Structure 1
Amino acid sequence: MGTPVRVRILGVGMGPQHVTPEVAEALRTVDYVLAAEKSDDDRLLALRRQIVQAHPGPGGPAELVTLPDPRRDRSTGLTTAGYESAVADWHDARAAQYAEVLRDRGGTAAFLVWGDPSLYDSTIRVVDKVRALLESTSVDVDYDVRAGISAPQLLAARHRIVLHDVGRSVHVTTGRRLQEAVAAGQDNIVAMLNPPPERIDFTGLQEWTIWWGANLGASGERLLSGRLGDVLPAIADARADAEAHDGWVMDVFLVRANR
């Protein structure tokens, strides 16, 4: 094997205010941070830069190395199989880009993951692909993971709720699979990776309670809660407000049947 490459996967919540001491310590050990650039005015990239600048190592802040994010099929009519295939192709393209940089640069690199790497994020999967690519060319890759504050944690804190009733469970899924969860008998559901509300099927849930939040922890944070049928019309406007304010939008919600 050649000179080993070290990768650190660091959960950073929703920005500088959520970086834990453990993650900050890890960030000070890296030579550079790898990040996908989604547009010419990528404000999430600007937040990553703030995080890097806030936690310099002995030689100063780590270099932020950006790569154009590969295109992904985001057609609204994709089947579940089509969606999963599109995401797999996207991950393969990302892994190939990252592997090339890591092979050329070596050293210790980091990925800054929004929320927590364990929950609806694929950085660990992508790094596993990178590892396989590099080890096939005799470059050894070692990586570790540091936890971050997740979106469901922030949602619960903002609304001052517990995500589940006493002795009961909470089901975590995506907005596009909400009805699948309901059909399976789930009645206390956190949904992440959500499209705009008009593309989520809320059929039959009008009497349920919803706790919704967008851009949690950011300056454009928006919160709504109440009977779903009453709150739903306002969610689209609040989501658009959050996106207009911050230049990006991520939302999460909890829906619960009234018992």
Structure 2
Amino acid sequence: MIHLHLIGIGTGNPAHLTGEAIAAIKGADLFLVPHKGAGKSDLADLRTQIIDTVRDDARVALFDMPVRDDSLPYLERVDAWHDEIAGIWAATIAQHPEARQVALLVWGDPSLYDSTLRIAARLDPAPRLSVVAGITSVQALTAAHAIPLNTLNAPVTISTGRRLRDHGWPLGCETLVVMLDGDCTFRALEGEAYDIWWGAYLGMPEQILASGRLSEVSDQIVEQRARARAAHGWIMDTYLLRRIAR
């Protein structure tokens, strides 16, 4: 039976690796690494660099990420895409029959807005599965800005740019963390009613931060994001919005 290890590696900084992650990397026979697609080449290099900080004898199997079919409705599109990725994983693992301890390095944590666990559940036969928790972009963001995630005795909502765009500000929400927002949806909000803390490439040497009243820094964030994406070919960013009490 294959033992599949999903290893949370934080946001790109090798210092984010936990002791548990290091042990899992040391014990793996094979690492599956996506290397083609938008920005995947640089991200593949980052993954292999992280592996190399732990060991110098790792066997890495590169695979091409499929492209989602944009003609399908969103959920159907993602479901079909996950099926295709699972098939690629299975075929790649089959090319290495001697490997029993197989690992995937997952940005942040496998449980937070990441589909690796859902894809792994589609493998047949089902592997034995282990998950190593990682530092999330949410933690890296609040640490970089030196702010608490929540206000005193208050809840926090974590959502996506798509939901903010389609449904607006969540009812009763004071603090909202937004992930997966390539469209900078915060521009649709009333700028004077919110403060924002934004970060890209969190924990990496390329880290960029911006914060302040949304009305004052919104354009700056959009411009910084566009420049950084053009320079690197990819971007991973997130932000925290807090409604100003009135």
TM-score (norm: length of structure 1) = 0.86
Secondary structure of the residue aligned to 2:27 is: coil
Aligned partner of 1:8 among 5, 8, 31: 5
The residue that corresponds to 1:48 in the other structure is 47
The separation in 2 between residues aligned to 1:126 and 1:182, in whole angstroms, is 30
The separation in 2 between residues aligned to 1:20 and 1:183, in whole angstroms, is 34
The residue that corresponds to 1:185 in the other structure is 172
Aligned partner of 1:72 among 50, 68, 75: 68
* 1:85–1:184 Cα change, 3 Å: farther
2:194·2:214 contact (CA, 8 Å) conserved in 1? yes
The Cα shift of 1:243 comes to 2.4
Where do residues 220-259 of structure 1 align in structure 2 (5 Å cutoff)?
Answer: 220-259=206-245
Q: Which of 150-159 and 61-70 deviates more?
A: 61-70
1:19 aligns with 2:9: no
Give the aligned length: 240
Aligned partner of 1:31 among 29, 32, 49: 29
The residue that corresponds to 2:183 in the other structure is 196
1:210·1:226 contact (CA, 8 Å) conserved in 2? yes
For each residue in 1:149-208, what CA deviation from the matched residue of structure 2 results, as whole angstroms up to 9, or x when unmatched? 1000010001110111010011000011115251433231000011132x5562335421
Secondary structure of the residue aligned to 1:182 is: coil
The residue that corresponds to 2:77 in the other structure is 86
Where do residues 156-167 of structure 1 align in structure 2 (5 Å cutoff)?
Answer: 156-167=142-153
The separation in 1 between residues aligned to 2:40 and 2:235, in whole angstroms, is 14
For each residue in 1:114-167, what CA deviation from the matched residue of structure 2 results, as whole angstroms up to 9, or x when unmatched? 01111000111111111xx225xxxxx101000111000010001110111010
The separation in 2 between residues aligned to 1:171 and 1:66, in whole angstroms, is 36
Q: Which of 45-54 and 204-213 deviates more?
A: 204-213
The Cα shift of 1:31 comes to 0.8
Question: Any gaps of 5 or more consecutive residues in structure 1?
Answer: 136-140
Secondary structure of the residue aligned to 1:149 is: coil
Q: Which of 82-91 and 159-168 deviates more?
A: 82-91
For each residue in 1:10-46, what CA deviation from the matched residue of structure 2 results, as whole angstroms up to 9, or x when unmatched? 0001222211121011100001110222349710000
Pairwise CA RMSD of aligned residues? 2.0
Secondary structure of the residue aligned to 1:184 is: coil
1:178·1:201 contact (CA, 8 Å) conserved in 2? no
The Cα shift of 1:54 comes to 1.5
For each residue in 1:45-93, what CA deviation from the matched residue of structure 2 results, as whole angstroms up to 9, or x when unmatched? 000110111112xxx4221111110111358xx8xxx222211111110
The separation in 2 between residues aligned to 1:65 and 1:177, in whole angstroms, is 35
In the alignment, residue 64 of structure 2 is paired with which amino acid?
P
TM-score (norm: length of structure 2) = 0.90
Question: Any gaps of 5 or more consecutive residues in structure 2?
Answer: none
The separation in 1 between residues aligned to 2:107 and 2:170, in whole angstroms, is 30
* 1:126–1:41 Cα change, 3 Å: closer
